[in-house]
Amino acid sequence: MNKLSSFLSKTEILNAAEQTLRKYGPDKASVTDVAKLLGVSHGTLYRHFPSKAALREAVTERWLEEMIVAPLTEIAAIPTTNALGQLRDYIAKLVELKQHHASQDSEMFKMYAAVTEESAALVEVHIRKLLDHIDLLIAQGMEQGLISRSIPAAVQARSVLYGTARFHHPAHAYEWRSPGIMQEFAQLWTLLERGLSEH
Amino acid sequence: MNKLSSFLSKTEILNAAEQTLRKYGPDKASVTDVAKLLGVSHGTLYRHFPSKAALREAVTERWLEEMIVAPLTEIAAIPTTNALGQLRDYIAKLVELKQHHASQDSEMFKMYAAVTEESAALVEVHIRKLLDHIDLLIAQGMEQGLISRSIPAAVQARSVLYGTARFHHPAHAYEWRSPGIMQEFAQLWTLLERGLSEH
DNA sequence: CAAATGACAATAATAATTATTTGTCATTTG
DNA sequence: CAAATGACAAATAATTATTATTGTCATTTG
């Protein structure tokens, strides 16, 4: 169904799996459902992914990369003379993206939250990417004389990410419905920015 | 059973409920179990608490007060010439207490975490107590010229509590087993302290 | 007569049964 | 012969039947 080539590609499977996940949610979607959508036997899918867990992880990995990491990479890559302001934009975007998908793409967000509890490896890789971005921005901020060198950039990067966890970690998603949430983030950021600043 | 007076008191019920909770865990413990332990009919308990939920909340409320709030109130009340240092001790104690009970009093901690998701009112009251303590310490720090007045104390208090959520919010309990957790807290604190400081 | 009881209906949890899904692999297909 | 199939066993999940718990209240007890 909708096949562009006669042989199944990983991308086609991921597309179908994501569509199935969106339709039935991560608790109900089965490998059989995905196979049905593709018009193939479910056994076929096991020639491409060793297990259902692996398929779920692959879908989540791609979703995270496309929906969260890619837009952030873009922000981190913009040349700037104000790395500290860029860091604020970066974290604000991270918060905005997570909260947006939690409400507007809820089934995939649930999938992401579930995989987060199942696969420490996937989380670790994701966190590492964010930390690398933040680390880079902080190092630039140091070069620009905006951010204090009294603490290593990598250490400050972790503190910034963990310190803002309430606003982007999926375990806090139910708190994001509160109307004051973005103001609270802005206020915390003011404090963190003071802590990061050279002065 | 173990009754000091012939009539049941709320305290006796709470003691029995807590004992039952510790024995069976919050998922298995029933009102009937509590009644059995007290040697009374379960209907009697409904003359003291309107529902099982209310009983669970009352037990949790008392536990929170005794195990978490009371020790913190003590720290907040110590007279000091270094309110910023005291604030560090306060938050460190909050983190230590939560993490200690998560591992050493796990059934009651589970009960607390469950009630946290059921009763927004209880959480709100608990948070308010902590915020009042932190607010007080920050206001003192301002008077002592240690903490910046550029942001209202109440706002900074909320930022401090939410900024350290990863280290005391029950949703993050599974991350507390990581060996680096206290170092990460110390590093975040260094950053927050820089942000709070007058300079 | 305040406090507690225990019989009762409604609701929820558990256990037993049935149906689906997951994962394997010898066989088929193009 | 690489790719896919589909029959099969094992593991999960959904359904149903059964048992336990929750919550009420008219009645009993001290």
- Residue-level length of chain A: 199
Q: What contacts 24+ positions apart, CB below 8 Å, involve A72-78? A: A72/A97, A72/A130, A72/A133, A73/A129, A73/A133, A76/A133, A76/A136, A76/A137
Domains in chain B and their CATH numbers? 10-45 (1.10.10), 56-196 (1.10.357.10)
pLDDT digits (tens, 9 = 90+) for A141-153: 999 999 999 999 9
Q: Is A197 exposed, middle or buried (0-12, 13-18, 19+ CB in 10 A)?
A: middle
pLDDT digits (tens, 9 = 90+) for B110-162: 999 999 999 999 999 999 999 999 999 999 999 999 999 999 999 999 999 99
pLDDT, position B8: 82
Amino acid at B147: I
Who among A117, A163, A171 is closest to B163 (CB)?
A163
pLDDT digits (tens, 9 = 90+) for A27-57: 999 999 999 999 999 999 999 999 999 999 9
Longest dimension (CA), chain A: 64
- Residue–nucleotide distance: B30 CA to C9 C1' (Å): 19
pLDDT, position A2: 37
Judged by phi (left if over 0) then psi (alpha if -120 to 50, else beta), residue B171 lies in: alpha
Which nucleotide C1' is nearest A55 CA?
C22
- Token pair 């909320």 is at which residue? B158
pLDDT digits (tens, 9 = 90+) for B40-81: 999 999 999 999 999 999 999 999 999 999 999 999 999 999
pLDDT, position A3: 39
**Residue of B118, B119, B159 to mutate when probing chain A, most A C-beta within 10 A:** B159
Helices (H), chain B: 10-24, 31-38, 42-45, 52-63, 70-77, 83-104, 106-118, 120-143, 153-163, 165-168, 181-196
Q: What is the mean pLDDT of chain A?
A: 95
Who among B166, B172, B195 is closest to A191 (CB)?
B195
Measured between beta carbons, the chain A residues lying within 8 angstroms of B195 are 191-196
Closest chain A C-alpha to B46 CA, distance in angstroms: 32
Residue closest to B97 by CA, chosen among B115, B107, B109: B109
Give the SS3 label for residue A147: strand
Who among A151, A160, A187 is closest to B190 (CB)?
A151
Closest chain B C-alpha to A22 CA, distance in angstroms: 26
